Amino acid sequence: MDATVAGVMNRGSVPRLAALALGLMLAAVAPARAMGLDPAYPNETMLGPAKAKGVIIWSHGRSIATEDSKSPTPPYLETLRADGWDVMRFDRLRRADTLSSSTAGLVGYVAALKHRGYRQVALAGQSFGGFLSLMAADESNEVDTVIATAPAAFGEFNDGSDAWRLNAVRLYPLLQQIKTARVMLFFFHDDDFDPGGRGDRSRQILAARGLGYAVIDQPFYLTGHWAASSGLFLRRFGGCVRDFADDAGLRHAFDCVPQWGIVPSAELKLPPALTRAPPIGAKESGSSLAPSVDAADARLRTMPVWYGFYPNGRELLVAVQSVSGDGVKAIYAVGPSIDNKYPSTWSERVGRVDRDEYIFNERGKNHLRFRVRDAGGLAVTWISQDGKSKLTADLRRIDPAILAHRGAIASAQPQ
């Protein structure tokens, strides 16, 4: 994009003259109408160098047929903005977006922002943008942190050539030449740009560098090249990314063990009957959590509550209250959306048994299908009322006793 940073900063809290000076410095290092530094959140006030913990520059990928400069900022960066970082985007037009020229532009932006007074400058990038961020950290000792998700710059498996192997071959020398930056890498399962094996080799290289690092390789539940752009990535790893960026003194491996999704969070609203739940197997008179199973599915006697999440990052809990003949009653609870547009809600649902499925098609409500798996899990399918949208989730059985103590459990666990 061709907007100058002067226009960007004037919408924030940085004084107009200072922003103009910064804009002129940044414009001087960027080819006309090819690159630009833009606000990641143009409707939010930027803190400026004096108040912000630092500034993070996100670099998008590069597609052959589309302008990735129009792609949305990944949700996980909101975690850094909320933590006191200014967040910007390094937008490039694909016709002039090369590894060498864009790296030079990014290095120039880093120097200008450090000169402006930002204590830390972090670089984050997806795919091609991840490679740019690592290359900039090779060129400059003013880069404090790099967060690269699914780094790739040399094609994919379906291209029909071996070029995609360069996404590994060319990555390792970049990691070996990092000057001062802490490096956090994410590699995802079923990524067509990933030749495989990059996690272990990257970890070996970074461990020998004596710099802070984290390599998250093939994390559960997150698949595909664009996994870092999902709400689920934000929920599971937003806290890890934030803590890694904040740890300026890190000189060793960073332990990233996300707790979100292990137990229901305090954000998930539940009916009082569940938060007072007895342990599995306990006999409580009148308890809705001791299912009265008149149908043949005896598995429900020992698996009354299941927990998990949808791919969009919303928590999900199901409690089957009773099965009688071909009728079934259940509590269905879903957590808030990542943008808080949709709050956490719960409802009592009444449905029917159809072979191995429990179907809920009540008038005026979204449709639900539950299927108990042989391994004890629960497959959930959500279908919008108009039938145009669909989400699926695989839940696992949990002990309902933890629901009464989930606040204490969550606060005691590392984030």
Alpha helix segments (H runs only) across 162-216: 166-169, 171-176, 198-207
- The architecture that CATH gives domain 5-246 is 3-Layer(aba) Sandwich (3.40)
Which residue pairs, CB below 8 angstroms and at least 24 apart, start in 284-289? 288/319, 288/321, 288/322, 288/331, 289/319, 289/321, 289/400
Q: Where are the domains of the chain?
A: 5-246, 272-406
Question: Cα separations (Å) of 315 from 228, 297, 301, 335?
Answer: 18, 26, 24, 5
Q: Who contacts 193 (Cβ-Cβ below 8 Å, separation ≥6)?
A: 127, 150, 152, 155, 156, 157, 164, 167, 225
Q: Are 309 and 316 in contact (CB under 8 A)?
A: yes
Closest CA to 317 of 266, 249, 383, 250: 266
Q: Who contacts 384 (Cβ-Cβ below 8 Å, separation ≥6)?
A: 366, 367, 390
Q: Which two tokens stand for residue 231?
A: 């709400």
Write the single-letter amino acid at 370: F
Q: Are 16 and 48 in contact (CB under 8 A)?
A: no
| Rounded Cα distance, 161 and 273, in Å | 58
Write the single-letter amino acid at 328: V
Strand partners of residue 183: 146, 213
Would you state the torsion angle of the CA atoms of residues 57, 63, 65, 68, taken in this order, to the nearest 10 degrees? -20
Q: Which residue has the tokens 């709050």?
A: 343
Q: Are 134 and 183 in contact (CB under 8 A)?
A: yes
Strand partners of residue 68: none
Q: Which residue has the tokens 């143009």?
A: 42
Q: Are 352 and 365 in contact (CB under 8 A)?
A: no
Look at residue 298 in the predicted model and tell me its pLDDT. 42
Q: How far apart are the first and last CA of the chain?
A: 37
Look at residue 4 in the predicted model and tell me its pLDDT. 29
DSSP for residue 223: B
| Rounded Cα distance, 45 and 217, in Å | 35
Same fold, 5-246 and 272-406: no
Helices (H) and strands (E) in the chain, counts: 11, 16
Write the single-letter amino acid at 6: A
Question: Cα separations (Å) of 288 from 15, 35, 108, 244, 304?
Answer: 61, 60, 63, 44, 10
Q: Are 330 and 348 in contact (CB under 8 A)?
A: yes
Per-residue pLDDT of the chain (415 residues; tens, 9 = 90+): 323 233 333 333 333 333 434 443 444 444 333 458 999 999 999 999 999 999 999 999 998 778 888 889 999 999 999 999 999 999 999 888 999 999 999 999 999 999 999 999 999 999 999 999 999 999 999 999 999 999 999 987 877 678 889 999 999 999 999 999 999 999 999 999 999 999 999 999 999 999 999 999 999 889 999 999 999 999 999 999 999 999 999 999 999 988 888 889 889 999 887 876 554 444 433 333 334 333 333 443 444 799 999 999 999 999 998 888 899 999 999 999 998 899 999 999 999 999 889 999 999 999 999 998 888 899 999 999 999 999 999 999 988 888 876 644 444 333 3
Cβ atoms within 10 Å, residue 328 = 26
Strand partners of residue 63: none
Look at residue 233 in the predicted model and tell me its pLDDT. 95
Domain 272-406, CATH class in plain words? mainly beta
Q: Is 384 exposed, middle or buried, given 0-12, 13-18 or 19+ CB atoms closer than 10 A?
A: exposed
Q: Which residue has the tokens 């599995």?
A: 280
Look at residue 33 in the predicted model and tell me its pLDDT. 38
H/E stretch holding 368 reads strand 367-372
Look at residue 34 in the predicted model and tell me its pLDDT. 42
Q: Are 198 and 187 in contact (CB under 8 A)?
A: yes
